[in-house]
Amino acid sequence: MRPDVLNPLFAETDTLEGVGPKLKKPLEKLGLTRIWDVAYHLPDRFVTRRAVETLDEAGEGENIVIRLTVTEHRGGRSPRAPYRVLAQDSIGNVLSITYFGRASYTAKKQLPVGETRWVAGKLERYGDMLQMVHPDHVVEEGGDTLQRLCEPVYRLSEGLTQPKVAGLVGQALDRCPALPEWIEPTQVDKHDWPAWQEAMRLAHKGEHKAARDRLAYDELLANALALMLVRADNRKRKGQPLQGDGSYRGKLDLPFPLTGAQKRSIAEIEGDMAQEAPMLRLLQGDVGAGKTVVALEAMLIAVEAGAQAALLAPTEILARQHYESLRRMAEPTGAEVALLTGRDKGKAREATLMGLLDGSIDFVVGTHAIFQDKVAYRNLAMVVIDEQHRFGVGQRLMLASKGKRAPHVLAMTATPIPRTLTLAQYGELDVSKLDELPPGRQSIDTVVMGQDKIPALAERLAAQFEQGRQAFWVCPMVREMDGPEEIAAAEARYASLKERFGDDVVMVHGQLAPEMKDASMERFARGDARLLVATTVIEVGVDVPNATLMVIEQAERFGLAQLHQLRGRVGRGSEKSFCVLLHGENLSETAQKRLALMRETQDGFLLAEEDLRLRGGGELLGTRQSGDTPFSIASFEQITELLPKAHDDARLLMERDGGLEGKRGEAARILLYLFERDFGVKTLRGG
Q: What is the CATH number of the domain that holds 379?
A: 3.40.50.300
Same domain, 365 and 485: no
Summarize the confidence of residues 456-462 as an average pLDDT.
92
Residues 92 and 125 in one domain: yes
Residues 129 and 269 in one domain: no
Outline where 527-618 has alpha helix (H). Answer: 560-567, 589-600, 604-615
In a domain, residue 23? The reply is: no
Average the pLDDT over 224-229 and give the result.
87
What strand order describes the sheet that includes 547-552? 444-450, 577-583, 547-552, 470-474, 531-534, 505-508
Q: What gap in Å lies between CA 289 and CA 32, rounded to an integer?
A: 42
pLDDT at 422 > cutoff 80: no
The reply to whether 665 falls in a domain is: no
Tell me the sheet residues that pair with 550. Answer: 472, 579
240-294 per-position pLDDT tens digit: 999 999 999 999 998 889 999 999 999 999 999 999 988 988 898 877 788 999 9
The percentage of the chain sitting over the pLDDT mark of 70, rounded to a whole number, equals 88
Does residue 208 form part of some domain?
Answer: no
On average, the pLDDT of the chain sits at 85
How much is the pLDDT for 226? 87
Same domain, 463 and 554: yes
User: What is the signed CA dihedral for 299, 301, 305, 310, rounded to 10 degrees?
Assistant: -10
What SS3 class is residue 632? Answer: coil
| pLDDT score of 85 | 95
Inter-CA distances, 186 with 191, 656, 657, Å: 9, 14, 14
Tell me the pLDDT band of 621, cut-offs 50, 70 and 90.
Answer: very low
Domain ranges, residue 597: 445-601
**Model-wide pTM > 0.85:** no
Phi, psi of 540 (to 5 degrees): -125, 145
Question: Are both 385 and 522 inside the same structural domain?
Answer: no
pLDDT of residue 399: 59
Write down the pLDDT at residue 575: 84
Of 579, 601, 623, the one marking the end of a domain is 601
Q: Calculate mean pLDDT across residues 16-21.
A: 93
Q: Is the pLDDT of residue 628 over 60?
A: no
Weakest mean pLDDT among 88-92, 190-194, 538-542: 538-542
> Looking at the structure, do residues 492 and 402 belong to the same domain, yes or no?
no
pLDDT tier, 398 (very low <50, low <70, confident <90, very high otherwise) = low
Of residues 291, 293, 287, 302, the one with CA closest to residue 254 = 293
Assigned domain for 613 exists: no
- Residues 139 and 276 occupy one common structural domain: no
498 and 392 in a single domain? The answer is no
- Do the domain assignments include residue 439? no
Strands 137-140 and 116-122: antiparallel
Higher pLDDT, 675 or 584: 675
Consecutive H or E run containing 42: none
Co-location of 367 and 496 in the same domain: no
What is the number of domains present in the chain? 3
Residue 236 is predicted with a pLDDT of 79
Q: Read off the pLDDT of residues 76-121 as tens digits, 9 standing for 90 and up.
A: 778 778 999 999 999 999 999 999 877 777 788 899 999 999 999 9
**How long a stretch of residues is the chain?**
687
Residues 450 and 377 in one domain: no
* 485 pLDDT above the threshold of 60: no
**How far is the C-alpha of 131 from the C-alpha of 97, rounded, in Å?**
6
Query: Over the stretch 155-176, which tens digit does the pLDDT of each residue have?
Result: 998 888 888 999 999 999 999 9
For the chain, the C-alpha Rg in angstroms (whole number) is 30
* Mean pLDDT, range 133-151, rounded to an integer: 75
Q: Is the pLDDT of residue 684 over 50?
A: no
User: Would you state the pLDDT for residue 679?
Assistant: 66
**272 and 316 inside one domain:** yes
Q: Which of the 8 DSSP states describes residue 143?
A: S
- Which is nearest to 211 in space by CA: 203, 219, 221? 203
**Would 681 be classed as within a structural domain?**
no
* Cβ pair 101, 86 in contact under 8 A: no
* Phi, psi angle pair for 384, to nearest 5°: -110, 130
In a domain, 68, yes or no: yes
Q: Is the pLDDT of residue 440 over 80?
A: no
At residue 423, does pLDDT exceed 70? no
- 455 and 580 both lie in a single domain: yes
Which tens digits make up the pLDDT trace of 334-358? 999 999 988 778 898 999 999 999 9
Per DSSP bridges, beta strands 50-52 and 94-99 are: unpaired
Pick from 148, 163, 187: which residue ends a domain? 148
- From 409, 434, 459, the end of a domain falls on 434
- Of 278, 652, 289, nearest to 436 by C-alpha is 289
For 354-397, write each residue's pLDDT tens digit.
999 999 999 999 988 888 778 889 999 999 988 755 555 555 55
Q: Which residues are within 8 A (CB) of 21 and not within 5 positions of it... i.e. 6 or more apart?
A: 14
What does the alpha-carbon distance between residue 23 and residue 13 come to, in Å, rounded to a whole number?
Answer: 10
Residue 633 lies in a domain: no
Report whether pLDDT(212) > 60: yes
Nearest-angstrom CA–CA distance, 135 and 95: 12
Q: What is the CATH number of the domain that holds 102?
A: 2.40.50.140
Closest among 637, 678, 645 to 190, alpha carbons compared: 645
